[in-house]
Amino acid sequence: MRLRTRPCPNCGAPLQAEWATRVIDCDHCHMRVTVEDDVVMAKGFRRALSELELPVETRELARVRLAGLPYRVLGQIAHGESTDVFLAERAHRLTERVVLKILRAKGDADLLDQEWETLTALHASQARGNDHFSRRLPQLVAHGELVRVDGTRVPASALRFMSGFVHTADDLLAAYPGGVDGEHGVWLWRRLLELLAWVHGSGFVHGAILPRHVLIHARDHGAMLLGWSCAGPIGASLCAISAKDAHLYPPGIAPGAIMSVAHDLTMSARVLVKVVGGDPATGSVPSRVPAGIAKLMGEVARGELSAAEAMGAHELHSRVGAAAEEAYGPPKFVPLLMPEG
């Protein structure tokens, strides 16, 4: 018979149980103890289940409903121009964490609808690489009218929470006010260009590549794009421009302008110029950025590459990679440290 000993969490007395035993009583204080970490006591499970099934109005935490399902709001994580963004979890037996985008003004409901329609179309894309790149888009959960505890209704979307993608390029700038090293700028730009090549190959343009829309997985060097409310098919009209971020849009562009592949490439370069500590409008970057990379960033940011439309994200990705190898040697992983919390 195999024995193992653990201290009682209540009194500290040694617990002895046969190998197959999973729940035992302490001989000293008579507390019932679960020996295995995955054991759930039936009494506690039934109590938790009954709490989940309480009417929305009687629950202690903030609860809302979307598409007929209850969600427990855990806290606000962002404040967009037209939406408030919350972390929430589905208050159901089969739970999951989600990001709730709740519209502040019903007059902007068309933007939330357009984002949902664009993401739905992209997830159904048959472009090469769909299985991989569709996972680097917001994952759709539910869309419609969210019902608050007081009964008011407001347009909202629920997107699946992606573990590890917890920092934006704005967070990166806050952590590194002077800009990150050029090597970090290179991998981030390349990840964005890979995604954009697939988006463009699917027939769409993002239209609003801004620091707050670039989501980063610092540990794995991953990147996603948020903020698809102004996205649309290549050749569609740009619906709006963020006034506070006007310097990050292509030169001379205005609402109603035709969106093109070059539009996204210019915005991606301007974001990266800002991330490495430069001036997006002029395309100038700090001297620590190697000349070849600095020249490429600056030209694309200023919209000087006349062949940008024909070149596309895929070729630009290759040119960035070649410039990086010339500057830094063969590719290697350089950890990006972000402050905790």
Residue 124's domain comprises: 59-160
Tell me which of 24-33, 88-97, 114-123, 305-314 is least confident.
24-33
pLDDT at position 234 is 95
Asked if residues 250 and 198 have their Cβ atoms less than 8 Å apart, the reply is: no
CA distances from 201 to 195, 233, 269 (A): 10, 11, 19
Specify the pLDDT at position 322: 95
Judgement on whether residues 64 and 128 belong to the same structural domain of the protein: yes
Q: For residue range 212-238, what is the model confidence (pLDDT) as tens digits?
A: 999 999 888 999 999 999 999 999 999
**Would you say the C-alpha torsion 242, 247, 250, 253 has a positive or negative sign?**
positive
Q: How confident is the model at residue 26 (pLDDT cuts 50, 70, 90)?
A: low
Question: Band of the pLDDT at 2, cuts 50, 70, 90?
Answer: very low
Q: What is the model's pLDDT at position 55?
A: 41
- pLDDT single digits (tens) 120-178: 999 999 999 999 999 999 999 999 999 998 889 999 999 998 888 888 999 999 999 99
Q: Does 175 share its domain with 27?
A: no
Mean pLDDT of the 333-339 span: 85
The pLDDT of residue 31 is above 80: no
CA dist 335 and 297 (Å) reads 22
Closest CA to 82 of 257, 230, 295: 230
pLDDT value at residue 316: 94
% pLDDT > 90, the chain = 58
Residues 79 and 174 both lie in one domain: no
CB atoms within 10 A of CB 28: 13
Secondary structure in 3-state letters for 103-165: ECCHHHHHHHHHHHHHHHHHHCCCCCCHHHHHHHCCCEEEEEEEECCCCCEEEEEEEECCCCC
Residue 18 inside a domain? The answer is yes
Residue 188 lies in a domain: yes
Report yes or no on 341 lying in a domain: no
**Same domain for 319 and 194?**
yes
Buried residues in 79-100 as b, exposed as e (16+ CB within 10 A)? ebeebbbbebbbbeeeeeebbb
Q: Which residue has the tokens 């090597």?
A: 183
The enclosing domain of 200 has a CATH number of 1.10.510.10
Residue 44, in any domain of the structure: no
8 vs 284, higher pLDDT:
284
Same domain, yes or no: 223 and 323: yes
Regarding whether 297 and 171 lie in a shared domain, the answer is yes
State whether 180 and 154 are in the same domain. Answer: no
Among the candidates 130, 160, 190, a domain finishes at: 160
Let me know whether 127 and 220 are in one domain. Answer: no
* 173-197 residue pLDDT tens: 999 999 999 999 999 999 999 999 9
- Whole-number pLDDT of residue 50: 46
- Same domain? For 186 and 268 the reply is yes
Q: What is the pLDDT of residue 339?
A: 77
Same domain, 176 and 314: yes
Are residues 209 and 149 part of one domain?
A: no
Averaged confidence pLDDT in the chain: 83
Lookup: tokens for 243: 């006034």
Q: What's the whole-model pTM score?
A: 0.78
Q: Return the structure tokens found at 79.
A: 């404040």
